[in-house]
Structure 1
Amino acid sequence: MILNTDGGARGNPGPGAAGVVLRNDTGDVVKQVGLYLGVCTNNEAEYKALALGLQTALGIGVKTLVCRLDSELVVNQVIGRYKIKQAHLKLLNDAIKKLAAQFEAVSFEYVPRAQNNLADKIVNEVLDAA
């Protein structure tokens, strides 16, 4: 399965939302979720979107997952390439690692925003409705 997630905050910090899209191996959308997060930063929203996506995938029994995000920072922090300086992001990163450990196989990839447009659209729809 392929998971695309996006998070965003208007104001940074400001009202934030998460967007999640799960696709099967042929690219068909299996599930999509949007969630209002309240006031947060962009980075917090990106982490929370990834957590929501992992929880959603686990909830429908996914065992193998490729996670695609347009946040280079979050991807590189999750895979250990970048250090995490803020304590609140370290807590979110730890939560991601606990969720990821529940899969048989999971990977994290950075993708350009253009390849993450449905998740981004969900974020904007949630924020527009808030």
Structure 2
Amino acid sequence: MQHLFLTAPIAQKLWKHFASCAGISIEGVQLQQLITSWWDRPGHCKEKQILKAIPAIILWELWKRRNARKYGKEDWMEILTTLSIYKPTLYYRIVYWEKPAVGWVKCNTDGACRGNPGQSSYGFSIRDNRGDIIYAEAQTIGDATNMEAEIMGVLKAMQFCDTHKFQKIILETDSLTLKHMLLKQWRVPWSQVENIEDIKRNISRKQVQIRHIFGKLISSQTI
């Protein structure tokens, strides 16, 4: 594996090409150490996501090249040709904020993180059937991940609804992962089991519709 993915001439050439752009040395390191150095490379949030993805892309392309040479499949030139003529299909949709029915409130939650993990905050707003704000809250929570911030936003919102006796709630989140966890469709990270269980117990005492939405609540339009 070390030879195929790191010390072979084509692997060395590929790693050096990208590592030189990122300021990473590949000399005298094992494959695991090299990948970790990419993951730990400092940078702002978007840069770090790219740095974390590049090793996986390189390894995947080296593996495909190995299989292509062994089994006579497509080679690098075919891949480059395919990429050069590829045009992604773009989709768009208009996102509206819709008023809840009479007797219901709508709760929009959000979480944000600078660094993932990094300085994080959550926010939520609650509106009535006329679209008027009943309450809104935002707080920083220190170092956390994006998911931890999203979960905290829902937890605080449900606690507020519990305190103020709101029983019919439409909960909207832009985290599809969080929606699936709350609906017991996806497994919950062990570090967040307690918070998720608190939310589920709170929801079980109310009529709650959990929805995934596109876009942020602060930029939504109302109809």
TM-score, normalisation: structure 1 = 0.83
Do structure 1's residue 39 and structure 2's residue 39 form an aligned pair?
A: no
Structure with max Cα Rg: 2
CA separation in 2, counterparts of 1:97 and 1:53?
13
Aligned equivalent of 1:26: 130
Aligned equivalent of 2:203: 100
Aligned equivalent of 1:63: 167
Superposition misfits of 4+ residues, deviation over 4 angstroms: none
5+ long unaligned stretches in structure 2: 1-104
Give the deviation of 1:90 after TM superposition. Answer: 2.1
Query: Residue by residue, what CA displacement relative to the aligned partner does 1:24-66 show, whole Å, maximum 9, x if unpaired?
Result: 0121111001111111100000000000111111222211101
Return the structure number with greater relative CO, CA threshold 8 A, min gap 6: 1
Give the deviation of 1:98 after TM superposition. Answer: 1.6
Aligned equivalent of 1:15: 119
CA RMSD, Structure 1 to Structure 2 (Å): 1.5
Name the one with the larger strand percent: 1
How many percent identity over aligned positions? Answer: 22
Aligned equivalent of 1:123: none
CA separation in 2, counterparts of 1:94 and 1:109?
18
Do structure 1's residue 113 and structure 2's residue 215 form an aligned pair?
A: yes
Q: How does 1:82-97 map to 2 (within 5 A)?
A: 82-84=186-188, 86-97=189-200
What secondary structure sits across from 1:113 in the alignment? coil
More displaced stretch, 89-98 vs 45-54: 89-98
Give the deviation of 1:117 after TM superposition. Answer: 2.4
What secondary structure sits across from 1:75 in the alignment? helix
5+ long unaligned stretches in structure 1: 120-130
Q: Which amino acid aligns with 2:150?
A: E
* CA contact 1:21–1:118 (8 Å) conserved in 2: no
CA separation in 2, counterparts of 1:71 and 1:111?
8
CA separation in 1, counterparts of 2:110 and 2:219?
9
TM-score, normalisation: structure 2 = 0.49
Name the one with the larger helix percent: 2
Give the deviation of 1:3 after TM superposition. Answer: 0.2
What secondary structure sits across from 2:123 in the alignment? strand
Matched residue count: 116
Q: Which amino acid aligns with 2:184?
A: G
Give the deviation of 1:75 after TM superposition. Answer: 0.6
